[in-house]
Amino acid sequence: MLIRESVASVAAEMHSGTLYFRLNDRFVHTHSHKPSEAEVRSWKHSIPALVSALLEAGLDDVEMMIEYTLPLTSKRADVILAGVHPKTGEPSYVVVELKQWTEAYPDEDSPNLCHVAGMHTRPALNPIEQVRGYCDYLAQFNGTLDGHEHRIVGAAYLHNATEFGVSGLDDAGQSPRGRFFTGDRRGEFIEFLRDHLAAASGALAADALRNAAVKPSTQLIRVAAAEVRDREQFQLLSEQKLAYELVLKAVRNAQRSDNKEVIVVTGGPGSGKSVIALSLLGELYRQGRSALHATGSASFTKTMRKVAGARKREVQDLFKYFNSFMTAERNDFDVLICDEAHRMRLTSANRYTPAENRTDKPQVDELIDAARVPVFLLDDHQIVRPGEMGSEREIKAAAARKGLRCTVVSLDSQFRCGGSDAYLRWVLRLLDLEQGGPVQWEPDAKMQLTVADTPEQMEEFLEDRRAEGYSARMSAGYCWRWTTKIAPGQPLPADVVIGAWARPWNVYGERAVAGAPPSALWATDPAGFGQVGCVYTAQGFEYDWSGVILGPDLVWRDGRWVVDRTESKDPVFKKSTPDDVVAGLIRNTYKVLLTRGMVGTVIYSTDAETRAKLRELVQAEARTTEPVG
């Protein structure tokens, strides 16, 4: 939340000209980058329109919570109004989505999508559906609304639009949590505000919403079976919902007009790519469509087969690998959902491929050909192996070669790392994956970050968090040899040795060893704590607390990072792999490991000079061992 003030106070700041400077300063401090021109325009044109309506309604003392960050995510609602209900006296909340649009009309195939005159080349999410999603999400996760879901309503206010210009938007269906008003229905909007907010102070209601306990997040693995087989479990927001609706629209078009379309969804760690994938798979499965989920990750696919497909072979068979489509017929399926698509390879052929199936056909072409609507979900910064080539550029080029339409949706919010944009940017800057170099970590109340002085200290810290009911894992760069063959009855060898501290890598293979889970389940089975995971078992998963060991392959020297490829024991790096490729992949590896935690991260480096740099960046007051409240 950037600003929380009464309507009267916001109006005073607006008239003095200080409001927009304050919003800008708060935005930069909170997000570590400048606001976009579109956001600044919205502040200067939309907030005055809302404040004017509130003043005319006599709601001077209602609290305005501007750019309110939704719990467990970086997504922001434009304004939440907090006050007292005029009839019940209970706390009352109105979520307002502000739009400067003048004309918009619903998509003819999907009323949850709309087309905005002069703005978008592809459909946008209908603002009725957008604000409804915000309300539903808050009702699900904000503790003050638990059992009091009736206290929250929502409206989109299109203050520049006329009824004639946007009247079709209500095809999405209006409801208490999703309504819309235009400039020429300003009087109705004022009455709507008066119906839900009394002319009384909203400070206590705002306190209750702001300070409420956050209910646990819906972790993908825990609800995978219910999502696919029974009903929708996830509340998709904004661009997530847009991507979801665009895929369903493409499926309907393909069925009706023999159409084919490629859809690419890009986003950083925790932006909801796998949630979208599973939501789509569940909806299409329940509709009886032929849809499959595919990845290049053995751990993720095996986990989905075990968890989502428990005791139901039909569901297990929905989860495939990228190289499963070498012999597929053209348009064999309605939809192929390619999750973690950055892990695509140049071709599907490997040493186990029968000679009759070996071709030079690019894997991306096989995946596009296999379904009428191929969907690719990816993050360019999560490519961690030589030969992985899944990128937006490659997929768009492949679609263009085939003369196919390719729609791209970018997810600009994230739900991992406590929803902390600041932490994700800190990691990117730390590893020189974003320009500007490492910067000092400024605690943001969303994500906890601490630096350990020894591996023993890191493990003890994580054990304490587990005792409080959190999940936790330790992972490391691939800087120690991995014993892959273990005699029956023997314990896992302690391959990861740092001084007197020694722990085993996670199990190599599909069988549990001495109580340790198979590799595919290391991130999700509680017994995975005590073994050290690598990027190949951690990628695609999340846990509350993440302990990350930076090995000697990445050290800080003379004011910059130095990559020492000789310290890497990863067998995928061949002598022929160029140094710059290895350096980029090692940085991406640590980016993946550092972005697995939902609540906090503990970092330890085996190198003294690197630890000193990390301590400099993460000050003592941030390196707390206090439990998360």
Q: Are 30 and 444 in contact (CB under 8 A)?
A: yes
Number of neighbours of residue 133 by Cβ within 10 angstroms? 26
3-state helix, strand, coil in the chain (%, to 5): 40, 20, 40
pLDDT digits (tens, 9 = 90+) for 76-132: 999 999 999 999 999 999 999 999 999 999 998 899 999 998 876 789 999 999 999
**Amino acid 404: pLDDT:** 95
What DSSP string runs through 278-338? HHHHHHHHHHT--EEEEES-HHHHHHHHHHTTTT-HHHHTTEEEGGGGTTPPTT-EEEEEE
**Amino acid 201: pLDDT:** 97
Whether the model clears a pTM of 0.75, i.e. scores above it, the answer is no
Q: Which amino acid is at 181?
A: F
Mean pLDDT of 481-486: 92
**Amino acid 627: pLDDT:** 37
Spell out the alpha helix ranges (H) of 402-503: 421-430, 455-467
More confident residue, 415 or 187: 187
**Amino acid 622: pLDDT:** 41
Tell me the pLDDT band of 510, cut-offs 50, 70 and 90. Answer: confident
* Residue 247, helix vs strand vs coil: helix
Give the phi and the psi of residue 598 in degrees, each rounded to 5.
Answer: -95, -30
**Amino acid 311: pLDDT:** 67
Best CA proximity match to 350, nearest among 379, 324, 376, 317: 324
| Tokens read off for 541 | 């998963």
More confident residue, 180 or 384: 180
Mean pLDDT of 323-344: 92
Largest CA distance in the chain: 79
Task: Write down the domain spans for the chain.
Answer: 3-211, 220-410, 417-617
| Tokens read off for 114 | 């709309």
More confident residue, 629 or 430: 430
Tell me the pLDDT band of 497, cut-offs 50, 70 and 90. Answer: very high
More confident residue, 268 or 124: 124
Relative orientation angle of helices 19-31 and 7-16, to the nearest 10 degrees:
100
Contacts of 44 (CB under 8 A, 6+ apart): 20
Beta pairing class for 3-6 and 179-182 = unpaired
Contacts of 325 (CB under 8 A, 6+ apart): 294, 336, 348, 366, 367, 369, 370
CATH 3.30.2130.10 is right for the domain spanning 220-410: no
Q: Where are the beta strands (DSSP E) in 418-500?
A: 448-451, 472-476, 496-498
What's the mean per-residue pLDDT of the chain?
89
Q: What's the fold here for domain 3-211?
A: Trna Endonuclease; Chain: A, domain 1 (3.40.1350)
